[in-house]
């Protein structure tokens, strides 16, 4: 989309899923977002800013992704241990690190 709101372009559409919480990389070239299927699976997907090269970050269960200031990591929340906690990972989905571990419902890491 142009800065004035013209030239709107839909980047994703998949039936029976909910794409949400898009986050632009600090350099403006990449978008990460959460996707939930009709069955409730929480996934994190990434694509370039034109909507091309769309792919799921494998072995990641989570939602609410946000870029780190330098664009080298992504923070997100996940209930993979039964309680929602905050994690970070490399932008390829590797090196997942749990940052919180408590009984609170930790979400939305930005």
The pTM of this model reads 0.90
Q: Are 88 and 70 in contact (CB under 8 A)?
A: no
Residue 86 lies in a domain: yes
Residue 50 lies in a domain: yes
Q: Are 107 and 64 in contact (CB under 8 A)?
A: yes
Say yes or no to pLDDT of 103 above 80: yes
Q: In this predicted model, what pLDDT tens digit does every residue of 37-81 receive, in sequence order? A: 888 889 999 999 999 999 999 999 999 999 999 999 999 999 988
Considering its fold, how many domains does the chain have in total? 1
| Entry field: residues in the chain | 110
- Any idea what DSSP says for residue 38? T
Provide mean pLDDT across the span 90-106: 94
Residue 5 lies in a domain: no
CA–CA distance, 33 with 19 (Å, rounded to integer): 7
Give the domain extent around 61: 17-98
For CA atoms 104, 32, 55, 5, the dihedral sign is: positive
């Amino acid at each position: 989309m142009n800065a004035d709101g013209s030239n709107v372009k839909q980047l994703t559409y998949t039936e029976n899923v909910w794409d949400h919480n898009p986050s632009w990389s600090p350099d403006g070239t990449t978008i990460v977002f959460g996707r939930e299927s009709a069955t409730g699976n929480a996934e994190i997907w990434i694509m370039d800013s034109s909507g091309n090269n769309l792919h799921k970050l494998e072995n990641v269960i989570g939602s609410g992704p946000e870029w780190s200031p330098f664009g080298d990591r992504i923070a997100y929340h996940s209930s993979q241990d039964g309680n929602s906690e905050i994690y970070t990972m490399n932008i390829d989905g590797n090196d997942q690190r749990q940052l919180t571990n408590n009984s609170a419902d930790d979400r939305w890491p930005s």
